[in-house]
């Protein structure tokens, strides 16, 4: 349904999107994951024909977005990062305008009412958009994208600014939309992408760093042999026992968390499952295991991991589509060389980006 080949967008000397290729099949929900400034919105803007690519092609169905823009755009519903709303119009007037703008052929009133019902804005249909809350505005934006029942829905961070209840509603709405439409949705929230998408594409610095099903990806990424355990018992002895477990790499104690209960970080060797053994040995000594969880990977970890030198341990190694140096056009090679020479600077930037990210998420994202 959507085919993107070697898409590149250059702003001055910055490559906002750098040779991205992927395809999306009919009825698939594809997640775009990436930090801010990774090129998600740029890619979406190119796909929808808002801006043009510097090179490469994007096709919606059989129509190229540059060669046959009107036909391609007719098949797309787009919710940009900022919903494009005319604040001085009522919701109804706005949707009627979009309906006419998109030259929808379905009967107007029932169609608009139907879309409003689906995104649950029927109760604000006659209110002026200026007076609506962020969550409602986002939904009006979504309604606008749904008008005309386009084959392809492109949603740029559709749940930003919504409260948790609305987020769940919108997610389940998107899931149901996936039955009728092909959906691309971007997000910087991993759990959201996992919850909604069949397949995930990870973008960083304009490059595609992973393309896999959500399950595979999260499996590959969370196959982490690190646990946090809470164990009741004398600290030194427990630590000694833990260290003696077969396959244990390192043990670190974080001190007392409850009366007589200590918390430890356990790191096992790869491909060793220490959990059963751990339980058995603790049970022998009658030291209750009060909690055991795998360390949760934050989005920052995942990006650092995906963008670090070590390849991600994918189930199918071929699936990690790092750009093949042979495929990179000559003029780009020089730049790749520069990038790799300047690794420390890149990492610095990455850390800064991650920091920015975490403050943003802390700022009441969910």
Q: What are phi and psi of 109, to 5 degrees?
A: -60, -50
Among 94-102, 161-169, 211-219, 327-335, the segment contacting other proteins (CB under 8 A): 94-102
Q: Segment 101-130, which members bind other proteins (CB under 8 A)?
A: 101-103
Whole-number minimum distance, CB 151 to other proteins, in Å? 13
Residue with smaller CB distance to other proteins, 109 or 257: 109
Among 13-21, 93-101, 279-287, 334-342, the segment contacting other proteins (CB under 8 A): 93-101
Is the separation of the CB atoms in 182 and 153 below 8 Å? yes
Whole-number minimum distance, CB 110 to other proteins, in Å? 19
How far, in Å, CA of 34 to CA of 37, rounded?
8
How far, in Å, CA of 71 to CA of 79, rounded?
18
Exactly one of 144, 186, 218, 307 binds other proteins (CB under 8 A); which one? 144
Whole-number minimum distance, CB 361 to other proteins, in Å? 23
Exactly one of 23, 25, 26, 97 binds other proteins (CB under 8 A); which one? 97
Among 95-103, 263-271, 288-296, 343-351, the segment contacting other proteins (CB under 8 A): 95-103
Residue with smaller CB distance to other proteins, 153 or 221: 153
Is the alpha carbon torsion for 48, 49, 54, 55 positive or negative? positive
How far, in Å, CA of 211 to CA of 209, rounded?
7
Q: What is the DSSP letter of 224?
A: -
Q: Segment 267-326, which members bind other proteins (CB under 8 A)?
A: none
Is the separation of the CB atoms in 135 and 161 below 8 Å? yes
Whole-number minimum distance, CB 99 to other proteins, in Å? 8
Whole-number minimum distance, CB 42 to other proteins, in Å? 12
How far, in Å, CA of 308 to CA of 206, rounded?
15
Q: What are phi and psi of 356, to 5 degrees?
A: -55, -45
CB environment 226-235: b (16+ within 10 A), e (fewer)? bbbbbbbbee
Q: Segment 197-216, which members bind other proteins (CB under 8 A)?
A: none
Burial degree of 104 (CB within 10 A; 0-12, 13-18, 19+):
middle
> Going residue by residue from 30 to 69, which x/- string records binding to other proteins, judged by CB under 8 A?
---------------x--xxxxx----------------x
Total binding residues toward other proteins, as defined by CB under 8 A: 30
CB atoms within 10 A of CB 212: 22
List contacts with other proteins (CB under 8 A). Answer: 11, 45, 48-52, 69-71, 73-74, 76, 78, 80, 82, 84-89, 93, 97-98, 100-103, 144
């Amino acid at each position: 349904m959507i085919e993107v080949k070697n898409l590149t967008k250059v702003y001055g000397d910055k490559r906002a999107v750098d040779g991205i290729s992927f395809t999306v099949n009919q009825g698939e929900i594809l997640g775009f994951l990436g930090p801010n400034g990774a090129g998600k919105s740029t890619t979406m803007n190119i796909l929808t024909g808002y801006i043009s690519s510097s090179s490469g092609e994007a096709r919606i169905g059989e129509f190229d977005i540059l060669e046959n823009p009107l036909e391609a755009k007719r098949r797309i519903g787009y919710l940009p990062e900022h919903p494009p709303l005319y604040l001085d119009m009522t919701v109804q007037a706005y949707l009627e305008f979009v309906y006419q703008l998109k030259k929808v052929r379905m009967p107007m009133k029932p169609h608009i009412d139907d879309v409003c019902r689906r995104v649950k804005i029927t109760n604000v249909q006659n209110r002026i958009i200026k007076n609506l809350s962020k969550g409602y505005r986002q939904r009006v934006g979504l309604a606008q994208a749904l008008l005309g029942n386009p084959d392809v829905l492109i949603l740029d961070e559709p749940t930003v600014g919504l409260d948790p209840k609305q987020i769940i509603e919108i997610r389940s709405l998107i899931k149901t939309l996936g039955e009728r439409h092909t959906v691309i949705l971007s997000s910087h929230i991993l759990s959201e992408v996992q919850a909604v998408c069949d397949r995930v594409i990870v973008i960083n610095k304009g490059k595609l760093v992973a393309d896999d099903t959500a399950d595979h990806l999260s499996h590959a990424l969370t196959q982490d042999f690190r646990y946090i355990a809470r164990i009741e018992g004398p600290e030194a002895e427990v630590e000694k026992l833990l260290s003696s477990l077969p396959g244990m790499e390192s043990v670190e104690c974080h001190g007392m968390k409850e009366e007589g209960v200590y918390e430890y970080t356990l790191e096992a060797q790869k491909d060793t499952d220490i959990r059963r053994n751990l339980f058995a040995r603790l049970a022998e000594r009658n030291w209750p295991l009060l909690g055991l969880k795998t360390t949760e990977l934050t989005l920052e970890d995942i990006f650092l991991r995906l963008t670090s030198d070590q390849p991600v341990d994918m189930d199918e190694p071929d699936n990690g589509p790092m750009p093949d140096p042979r495929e990179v056009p000559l003029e780009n090679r020089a730049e790749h060389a520069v990038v790799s020479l300047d690794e420390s600077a890149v990492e610095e930037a990455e850390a800064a980006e991650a920091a920015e990210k975490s403050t943003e998420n802390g700022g009441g994202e969910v």
